[in-house]
Each structure stands twice: as structure tokens, then as C-alpha cells.
Structure 1
Amino acid sequence: MSSSGLEDALAKARDALASGLVVSEAAVQASVVRPILRELGWDDADPRQWQMEYPVDNGRVDEALIGPLGKPLVFVEVKRPGVLSPKAEDQLFRYANNKGVPLLVLTDGDTWDLYLSMAEGEPVERRFTRCKLTESSEFCGVARDLRTFLERSEVLSGAARKAAEARLEQVKHREIGKGGLDSAWEELLRGPDEILRDLLIERVEENVGSRPGTRDAEEFLRMLAAIVPVTAQQGDVAKWLQAAPANLTSGMKATVTRWLKQSAGHTPGKPSPDGAPPKPTPGSGKLSGIRIRGREHEVLEFVRVHLLLASELESWNGGLLNELAARAKPGMKNPRAVRASDPVLQTDRSKYYRQIPQYPEWYLHVHWSAKDHQRLMREMTELAGLSWGSDVVVLFAADIA
């Protein structure tokens, strides 16, 4: 059960698979699966621990790893190399149905898919990890996962099941986040988002030694967003697909197509029945400034708006910046407001801060998206005792047209 023993077994299994001689289920069991399970503490010579061809209502499971009361705790279904499929998943889950077996393994020797049998969803939605032997130059990660979820002592104690539940929760959150990537990228391009713009400028400067202008970077991002022709913006998906650049991936085309279909049904973007242009959505359009207690300031960047508001609010309510700084939690990496003497300004994180007008001893963290700038400005306004939306109003070109 030593770490080196397991990694040696994994290396031998990979070599056996690479030889091309392991072509049947029986060969996978003998050359790959059983040597690995032995290194994880299971004794295939002891029927109280391990039973092969374990009978269930609708068939037989290739390997069943047994608990101290004779109850199976892990089902392992083995396929010949390269034949894992949703059908194989369904078969494994049928075998486990109503058996109370917490952990399931489906493997062709190379790929090891591990499932939490009593979780919610389709079989694929219950898979909490996948290990690939032939894609691993080092086996530390694979060995760590197999020990965590399949080592006999971990399974018997229940720790393996708890770890599987935690991993599955992580997987689900990651999938939710992954599903939001396309729409977030579209939003960043259409903004353009200030952080994205600044990152683009910094990377250009690193690559070529010269810094492009802010407007140049913004126009470049708008150009990327403008790959959709006017007819496509009106919902003509077929024309968009015909005009799409040849080097776009199918995923990118699918993203734009989905966005176009949504745009076609978006009421604010449609002309009114009498032919009049659509009314702008409040709070949309290009940033034009900020109104603070009835006085308008023309400012075209959220960073400058944020700094101006901090300065004005400090003048209105002396001590606001002190209170903002005091809200930072101990050890906070990027506090909202810091004094000029703060150690954070001596690190590489200083690039996220800007000096506050009229209060040069104070610096404000301003490296935010446009949406976060507005959220944080609202918090700061309410902290000063003013009302967001009446005492303080962010102005957009559409709001004052």
C-alpha cells in the first residue's frame, strides 16, 4: 500500500496498455485493474474483501469490493480498451440500482471514471473524477485520487465517500462556472470592460515594448465584438453563419448564434410598431459622467468616476476613507482604501491603486469591472449617508440623450 508501490503498479499498467497486447476485458482485469486494487489494500484472495463476477438482479458485476459486514462498498465494471460509453455507464448503474453501493468505477484500464451512485442526476452528472493513465507523465495526481477514493482503509472508514461528495460538489460548481464563460466573454468584449482593456494594453507593452492608446485598445475590442454584421444583429442567423470568418471554431459560432437568437427576441432592441427607434434602456449606453448631490461631472472612465466620488464623499463626510480602510479584514490582499505609507503600495499590487484627488495621502483600489465599480460606488455612497440613484447618479449617454 506504499505510495511508490501504487505508482509502480500504475506505470506497469500504462506500459501494458501501450504495448497493444491488452485487448480484452480479461486482459484489462489481469494486467491493470487487479494489480492496482491490490496496491490499494484489497486482497483478491479473500472473498470477504473482494468478489469477482458478483451477482446482482440483472447480471454480474466484474469486481465487488466488500465491507466488514459482507456488504459491497465499491462496484468495478471493466471494459476492453476504448469502449467506454454512456451505454456502459447505464449498465453499471443498473447493476448498482437499489444495492446501496456508494462508489462505482467504470474503467477500460486507461480511463478510470469514478461515480457517486446515490447522487442526483444522470450517470455522467454523478461522475466526480476521471483518471487517465496514458496521459500522465507522472502518477502523483492519479495515485493521490485513487488512494483518496479507493484505498481500502478510506472506503471502510467512510472517508472515501465524504471525499467523493465534496469532489462532486466542486465539479458541479465548476460546470456552472464553465457554462457562463461564453456569455461573460461576449459581455467583456461589448463593454469594453476596463480590466480587459488594461490587461490588453499591458500585454501589448510587454510584447512589443510600446503602449497603445486607451481608445486604440477599446476600438480593437469593439471590432472583435462587431464580427456580427448588421443583418445578423437583427436576428438573421443564417446570414451571420454565411458571413462568419472561416477561422471561427464551431464553439464560437454556436455562441454567436445563441446570442443572436436571444437578441432577436429582446424587446428593447426592436423598433416600435410605429417605426420609431427603440427607447434606450435606463442605465445603458456609454459612460458620460456622474451627478453628485445635483452637480454633474463629465468623466468618461469608471476609474476616474470612482476616484472623483471617493474625493467628493470624503469632503461631504470627513472620515469616510478611514472607515473604508478600517473595514479591511486582517491579511486582506487588496484592501479598498489605503494610506500612502501602506506596505501594499510597495508590492506589485500597487498597480491596482490610484491616488485620490484632493487627498494625496489616500489611494483607492480601482482595478474592477464596470459592474463592480458601480456596486462598490453604491456601497461607498450609502456608507457616507447618501442615497444611490438620487444623491449620486452614474450618467450614461443613453440617459441624457
Structure 2
Amino acid sequence: MSKRFAEAIEDLARGIGAGSFRSEAEISQGVIKRVLHELGWPVFNVQVVAPEFRIGTRKVDYALCHPAGKPSVLVEVKDLGKADGRGQKQLFEYCFHQGVPIAVLTDGREWSFFLPSGQGSYEERRFARLDFIDDDSSHAAETCERYLNFDRVKSGEARQRAERDYEAFRRQKEAASNYAAVWSRLLGGPDPLLLDLFSEEVGNETGVRPEPESAARFIRNQARAAVASQGKPKRTRTKRRKVAPVPAKVGRGDPPSFTFRGETETFKSGAEVLVAVFDKLASLDPDFCRRYSEQHRGKVRRYVAKSRDLLYPGRHRPASASHRLPGGWWLATHCSNPGKVKRIMKACEVAGLKFGRDVIVHIPVGSRQGETA
């Protein structure tokens, strides 16, 4: 992903926010063509970037073709705020007649990517969405590159990635449908790992680890309250979420791993993943450790500190329970695997990164694998 493309998206976002593109035609010429040009498409070759491409008695705004005259991607352009369900229906009718692998619906600001050959409703076939104004420009550029880069479309790589990401998103949605039942079961037990994590966090905050039965009773009460509240649903308006490409699902038996902006490394333990994430973020930003130390700490201990003694005050821990970070800071590595994931999520907040997109980690939480002694 080029820095120039991200800067072009920032420029377009400013123009969209200022109202510089007032019609579908202005969006098509000023936004869509510029994006396609940045992605390597020969925008003046009407056999490759075909405007008003005719499909039967209908026309789609752009057909991105390879070979010339054969659409690989269809792009339907709408006025700002009009890239809605009606636009999706129209776009899918084009795809049905043409058999196009990837479809894009956009109003210049919001971009939705669909796999027409997928299953279910139009919404269920959408595998990625981005917003030029709300989303980070680097993420927006990376997403467009992933599915619309000229060379990747020609080689078939864009189609393969779209199919993989759609399937991963579909599996994630299927998994999400079981969240409530699994969560209720974990709380009702409660699960030993959940109880251990809760007790550990209480100990970090207060310096006193709760009695197991007391902590378990509290968790069970929370579960009962949650179940009771489900019987009295409140009518609320939900804000539409923007969905980023979902990484391929990681198998339960796969080794711990850390993916940073597409580059993946595997490790022997969850502690090594924790160290790798903090090493990476501290090396990219000299002020990261200071900000993390100030924003995320327990009442009696630090997770990142200038002195190793502040990590486990009043407790003896071996040298392996801490790690020296760039800039002379120290990281506490002794915590449960769910605790490691939680600290990595907090690190992403401090660094201004999106957990699950810019930073992806796999640390087994079904066992204590990788926990420092």
C-alpha cells in the first residue's frame, strides 16, 4: 500500500466533507476515477475501465475489465447517502446477468464490497465496508488495494482474497450467533479460566485476591441478572458498524501468533506474543511505554514501568516474569492468557491501532499454554 494513495484518500475525504462533490457525476469523475487511477487502472482506456457499461437493457456505472471488454469488477456509483438497499438490488441484478466476481457499491464516501456468488441476502454477501471520512486512511487504502488493485484483479489474486474474506466473515457471523449461549454457560459455571482472570484483575486493582467461592458467586449473580434483563428488551437504535476484512480463522491447535498489518510471526507461547506486540509498538513510538504506563495500571502495581520492582510490588517473581522494552521500560509478562489478550487490546488503544485489524493475535485461552511461571 503506497503512502501516496493514503494521502489521496485523505484529500478526497476533505473534499467530501467540504461538499465539493455535489452530484453522482461529480463523485464519479472526481472520486471514483481518481481512486481507480491510484490503483493502477488505465482510466482513459474505455475497453478496460468501461463507463456506462451496458448489461442487457441496463447500464452499470463502471465495469473494470480483464481482458478488455470482460468485466471482473462492477462499480455502481450513487449520490452521497444513497448507497443503500435499493442500490444493492440494482447492482446484484447487473452481476446476475454478467457473472462478475466482485461488486462495489459506493457514494464516494462509503464503499461496500460484495461477493455476488455468496449465499444469503445482499447484506450477507458483503464482506467488507469502509468510510473515507471515518476510517483511517491507511486502512481504507489497504482495503481498496486488496480488492481493486489493477494487477491483483488481472492475476486473480483480488478474487481469491475476496472469496477467502467472505468465507471468513461468514464463519465469524455463524460463531457470533452462539455468543450468548456460550457466555451464559461460562458465567453460570463459572469457567475456571474466567474465574481466574476475574480474581487476578481484582487482585491487580486492590492488592487482595478474592476468595474463589465469593468471586464465583458474584459471577453467577451477574449471569442471572443478564438472563433476567433479556426478558425485558429495550428499544434502542443501533449504530451501523463498518466491517473490515476478517482474517482467516485460526485453528484451536495452531501455535500462538502475532500479525501486524499483514505480516505474521508464530511463537512458542502466549508470553512471547505479548512481548512481541509491546516490542513492536515501543519501537515504532518512543512515547508508547510512557502513555501505556499512565493510562493502564492497577492500584498497587504497574504492567509497564521504568523499574522492574514496580511490576510486582511485594511479590517475588523470577526474571522470566518481566521483559525489558526499548527505552529502558519493563513489561510484566506473568498473567493468564486472557489477561495477555486484554493488555494487548489496551496497547492497541494507546497506539491508535485497531485490534483485530492492524494487530491480530492468537493466544490459546482454553489452557494456560504460554503463561510465564
Structure of higher CA gyration radius: 1
For residues 72 and 170 of structure 1, the distance between their equivalents in structure 2, rounded to whole angstroms, comes to: 25
- Displacement of 1:249: 8.4
1:184 is matched by which residue type in structure 2?
A: V
Counterpart residue number, 1:149: 147
State yes or no: 1:194 paired with 2:192.
yes
Counterpart residue number, 1:162: 160
Contact 2:102 2:114 (8 Å CA) reproduced:
yes
Contact 1:54 1:61 (8 Å CA) reproduced:
yes
In structure 2, stretches of 5+ residues that fail to align are: 238-254, 257-265, 271-317, 322-332, 338-363, 369-373
Superposed, 1:50-65 pairs within 5 Å as 50-65=49-64
1:214 is matched by which residue type in structure 2?
A: P
For residues 351 and 43 of structure 1, the distance between their equivalents in structure 2, rounded to whole angstroms, comes to: 53
SS in 1 for 2:98: coil
Q: Deviations over 1:259-289 (max 9, x none)?
A: xxxxxxxxxxxxxxxxxxxxxxxxxxxxxxx
- Displacement of 1:209: 2.1
Q: In structure 2, do the counterparts of structure 1 residues 346 and 24 end up closer, same or farther at CA, with 3 Å as the change threshold?
A: same
State yes or no: 1:182 paired with 2:202.
no
SS in 2 for 1:226: helix
2:161 is matched by which residue type in structure 1?
A: A
SS in 2 for 1:73: strand
For residues 123 and 23 of structure 2, the distance between their equivalents in structure 1, rounded to whole angstroms, comes to: 24
State yes or no: 1:94 paired with 2:30.
no
Q: Output the TM-score relative to the length of structure 1.
A: 0.58
For residues 208 and 27 of structure 1, the distance between their equivalents in structure 2, rounded to whole angstroms, comes to: 59
For residues 112 and 99 of structure 2, the distance between their equivalents in structure 1, rounded to whole angstroms, comes to: 19
CA RMSD of aligned residues (A): 3.2
Q: In structure 2, do the counterparts of structure 1 residues 350 and 20 end up closer, same or farther at CA, with 3 Å as the change threshold?
A: closer
Contact 2:187 2:223 (8 Å CA) reproduced:
yes
Identity score, percent = 29
Q: Deviations over 1:26-84 (max 9, x none)?
A: 12112211101111111221112111111112421011112124211111001111122
- Displacement of 1:208: 2.1
Q: Output the TM-score relative to the length of structure 2.
A: 0.62
Counterpart residue number, 1:209: 207
Matched positions, count: 258
- Displacement of 1:104: 0.7
Q: In structure 2, do the counterparts of structure 1 residues 70 and 167 end up closer, same or farther at CA, with 3 Å as the change threshold?
A: same
Contact 1:58 1:95 (8 Å CA) reproduced:
no
Q: In structure 2, do the counterparts of structure 1 residues 227 and 14 end up closer, same or farther at CA, with 3 Å as the change threshold?
A: same
Q: Deviations over 1:104-160 (max 9, x none)?
A: 1001111111112222322222212112111124x2222122112101111111111
* More relative contact order, 1 or 2 (CA 8 Å, 6+ apart): 2
Contact 2:48 2:68 (8 Å CA) reproduced:
no
For residues 23 and 153 of structure 2, the distance between their equivalents in structure 1, rounded to whole angstroms, comes to: 28
Contact 2:55 2:97 (8 Å CA) reproduced:
no
Superposed, 1:95-134 pairs within 5 Å as 95-134=94-133
Counterpart residue number, 1:333: 269
Contact 1:104 1:117 (8 Å CA) reproduced:
yes
